[in-house]
Structure 1
Amino acid sequence: MIGTLNALVDRIEAAAGTELDVADFARAHGTTEYHLRRMFSALAGMPLSEYIRRRRMTLAGAELVAGASSLLDVAVRHGYGSVEAFARAFRAVHGISPADARRDGGPLRTQPTLRFRLSVEGRSPMDVTITTAPELVLVGHAVEVPLIHEGVNPHIQQHIAGIPAEEHARLKALSDAEPAGVLAVTGDTPPDAPEGTMLTYLHGVSVQPDAEVPADLDAIRVDAGSWAVFTASGPFPETLQNLWAATATEWFPSNPWRLRPGPSIVRYLEFTGTHASCELWLAVEPA
């Protein structure tokens, strides 16, 4: 995967302002667009689409300062059909207009070309189980919340706090399938969604596929397939977020599995508010 990501970066540089067919590139490298975008986002710290935009605007800024081409020529060369659209993208990255950049020479924000490297030192052993599960039916109380990469998500906290104690007991009583117990389910989001993207969060349980779902509960159905189950224990939420990062930086590059579309599921084995022992369930398929 590391080699594939570096080849993708090289293709982006060679493509210049032309549209890159990420799905075709992924197929040619024996993977899927979904997995490729998820791994790029996790390792680069930004969505693939954002990296492409930053690189285009970095090169465009250099051309404008050099002054050899007209504003329209620069816009077209970097994939924009109008000066107006190019100017909006340019300002979003650099904070100034193309005209200001040409007149004053900056300041410009540079996005260096990425280069991915893998260093696995084995300092943090990962406990992982691959399990095959039938169709999952996850039922509970769902809410739309913004994606937050670091720290506690206050929107999720507020959602859970608003669920009465007796409702938590009711959900536990409904749980009759793996993964057992009350679950934190994040609905399948775009593979390279930026922070702030709205996603579905469900506080609920797993029930049998033929179970009758109460009318007042939300339900998410997930196709049968394989799951990679990672276990971790430590301070909350840092341990869980570090585990997420480690799956991308250590486990997937070193194992013959890739992500498939599906929600992520967190099963808390023990939770005190500041410390958690949990399982992270990620939908996978053979690479």
Structure 2
Amino acid sequence: MDWLTRMNRAIDYIEMNISGDIDLSEIASQACCSSHQFQRLFSFITDVTLAEYIRRRRLTLAAIDLLNSDAKVIDIALKYGYDSPVSFARAFQSMHRINPAMARQEGVALKAYPRLSFLISIKGAEAMNYRIETKEAFQVFGIERVFQTSGSGEGLTTPGGFWQQCHANGEVERLADNAGELPVDLSKDLFKVHAVCSYRKTEKDTFPYMLCAFKSYSSKTDGYLEIAIPSHTWAIFPSELFTWNQFNDSIESLYRRFYSEWLPTAGYEQVEGLEFEVYGGRDGSNYVELWFAVRKIS
């Protein structure tokens, strides 16, 4: 099954269950990936979160129901997952700029968000730098947190907040001091602390994220979690050099282009969402490489 078929099958599941319970894990399984992986992929491709897409579709259909039926507002609210007229009215007002009762007036302006369909888009485009490497099994060690797939997106509920906390309390520096020498097969431009995501199974709708160092003969791993990374083929995407104030734009551009341009057409698929953020620097500037564990689509 190709990438487009899997993504459109996930949208089909959403649409078939839009007025009922939508299981985020089931959406992801329709696309043959993890919940965390699918939600990241979805948001980078569409520029909207999965939760926001579902909200917009439900409020679009709720407006149509108000226009075309005599159903009570509370019944339409319950149909689309709102447990009270107040929460429904607030959401409806936020999107349509009117309250639900006014939607039945002739000539009133409403908004509609149509269902998504995933297609291949041909862009004239800027080249992407990447390489495919097969690496033997290796080990990393570090500090782990498990995050909710559908977290609030703020503070310590995100990997970004975790990085900030570990910089503030000195954990990043301590991990760098304990990293030792880099393994010989890695570039000496690399920093000592990196990050790895989705390297083990966790509870439903969660994912593991670790600030990590590559383990070598001189590493000091006492007190840290150690993880063995099996042999994989990796699709590796390096950024251009940047200063730290350009970091968010640089890494988001890599993710977006991987998901929206490379993955749909390259004949590969991700392996369980496993990926690394590998950091380095040269000539006074910084760069990041995103390593995605991949396999050829048979």
Please confirm whether the aligned pair reaches a TM-score higher than 0.5, indicating the same fold.
yes
CA distance 1:63–1:266, change in 2 (3 Å):
same
Paired amino acid for 1:184: H
Q: Out of 226, 250, 269, which is 1:239 matched to? A: 250
* Structure 2 residue matching 1:233: 3-state secondary structure: coil
Structure 2, unaligned runs of 5 or more: 155-159, 200-204
- The one of 151, 163, 166 equivalent to 1:156 is 163
**By how many angstroms is 1:163 displaced?**
2.6
Q: What displacement does 1:55 show?
A: 0.5
* 1:252-271 map, 5 Å: 252-261=263-272, 264-270=275-281
2:230 aligned residue (219, 224, 228) = 224
Q: Tell me, which stretches of 5 or more residues in structure 1 are unaligned?
A: 190-196
The match for 2:46 is 44
Secondary structure of the residue that 1:46 maps to in structure 2?
coil
Distance, in Å, in 2 between the alignment partners of 1:61 and 1:232 is: 44
CA distance in 1, matches of 2:172, 2:192: 13
Backbone CA RMSD of aligned residues: 4.4
| Distance in structure 1 (CA, Å) of the matches to 2:153 and 2:30 | 31
Question: How big is the shift at 1:23?
Answer: 6.1
Is the 8 Å Cα contact of residues 239 and 250 (structure 2) preserved in structure 1?
yes
TM-aligned CA deviation for residue 51 of structure 1: 1.6
Deviations 1:235-285 (A, max 9, x none): 331222211111101111112322233553222231677x42332112334
Q: 1:174·1:205 contact (CA, 8 Å) conserved in 2? A: no
Question: Counterparts of 1:96 and 1:185 in 2: how far apart (Å)?
Answer: 37
Q: Which amino acid aligns with 1:95?
A: S
Give the counterpart of 2:177 among 170, 173, 176: 170
Instruction: Check the 8 A contact 2:175/2:193 in 1, yes or no.
Output: no
**CA distance in 2 between partners of 1:63 and 1:222 (Å):** 53
Match of 1:121 in 2: 124
The offset of 1:115, in angstroms, is 3.4
Partners of 1:75 and 1:214 in 2: how far apart?
54
Paired with 1:38 and 1:64, the residues of 2 have a C-alpha distance of 33
Do the aligned residues in 1 keep the contact of 2:182 with 2:214 (CA within 8 Å)?
yes
Q: C-alpha distance in 2, partners of 1:221/1:83?
A: 43
Question: Does 2:33 correspond to 1:32?
Answer: yes
Q: Distance in 2 between matches of 1:212 and 1:168?
A: 9
Q: Give the TM-score normalised by structure 1.
A: 0.69
Contact 1:225/1:284 (<8 A) preserved: no
CA contact (8 A) 1:54 1:93 kept: no
Equivalent position of 1:207 in the other structure: 215
